[in-house]
Structure 1
Amino acid sequence: MTSVLVMVFAAIALMVTGHLLFTYIPFRTIGNTALNLAGQVDSDILIFILAGFVAQLIDGALGMAYGVSATTFLLSFGVSPVAASASVHASEIFTSGVSGWMHLKFGNVNSKLFKNIVLPGVLGAILGAYLLFSFEEYLYIIKPIVAAYTLVLGILILRKVLRKKVKKKPVKRLGFLATAGGFLDAIGGGGWGPIVSSTLIAKGRNPMYTIGSVNLAEFFVSIASSSTFVAFAGISHWQIIVGLILGGSISAPIGAIMARRLPVKTMMIIVGIVVIIVSLRLIVMTLPF
């Protein structure tokens, strides 16, 4: 029943997206009534749908980088940093919910790991969202620090793949790791997956169960950060949010299936490469030119 509901929701999102595609590209003459979606939707929503699709596909398959991917994608198309951050956090409630649901259905979740990271992650997200609202002008300092950390993690993951055996090490202070992940995710517009998943995988944790557990916990972390953000700063930019949700809902089931079927070594290589690329991109974006 769970998988059926998720698939139905994804199918509805796909139909709405298809309707928008035929409305704006290039058949303007096919019914002007489609142009009246709350009087606020225009062809730009297709960009936001694409951003949500790509970001959630990466996040669902690799357990990370939805916020980072979606935020950088939106910024590259001229969306303001404030609008991008607010919209990504709001849409993450829905996209991470669908993704976490699918991971749970496919058996990708380690219940013990999930319970150990969800509450600390929520507390960190609330604190991070509050500080972001209070000290938004210092965001340019925090982002490159987070990016440098995740860059090191990506290199460590690839280094472990090249070894014949990856020795599993216990992750000490798991609660602290989750708190830091939730905090930096709220502060930097992304980072829960890259920080938590990358650290756990770098320590030799099974990528499939790590990705599934972190994705499910991300749903609650997203609710916490978004609720705090809305309480203090309000929310707008509904077209961006709807576009991200539609695109993410379509690709969420695909990402969960990919996480289940990809070989462990292949997943670790992909995770390492994605983390390095995203981290380098964030570092470059923060450099003064």
Structure 2
Amino acid sequence: MSAILLGLGVYVLVGFTFRGLPKGRLDRPLRRRFLAPLGLVAGFLDATGGGGWGPVGTPALLASGRMEPRKVIGSTDTSEFLVAVAAGLGFLFSLGSQGIDVMWVAAFLLGSAVGGVIVVTNARTLLTSDVLYVALYALWAAALAYSVRAHLKERNATVAESAEERQPVGT
């Protein structure tokens, strides 16, 4: 990924340094034979390497010389948002077919884990004492343990209820 981005960066740097903005080509529509492979490669790199849509798409569109830089950045950011939504929905829909308990995923996505990460990462800039920071980590760990314990208790109660419902009456 770094090699690809280095190559694109050098190409854009050299192109804009020695040639400047292309004259007369701005705002001409981009061709599908350029956009389709770009979308395929950038999407593939984004899915496999965790980054690629913005870092690959932006310099490639800039290098095409057919869009102003502000439009390139706006278009890439908008499409990156749509790609992230599509990837997230694909992930959520595929969970059921993989034997993963969706309740666990929901508990960690919406629960103490995410809140704790946000609190801990942002508190680092506000707290001056390492002792307070360690105490914050301990509090977060306690909240996570409580959440997991509560989830397991609820799941066991649900399993016990369904087992009782399956028992024939009078036994």
TM-score, normalized by length of structure 2? Answer: 0.48
Task: Considering Cα pairs closer than 8 Å and 6+ residues apart, tell me whether 1 or 2 has the greater RCO.
Answer: 1
TM-score w.r.t. the length of structure 1 is: 0.30
Which protein has the larger Cα radius of gyration, Structure 1 or Structure 2?
A: 2
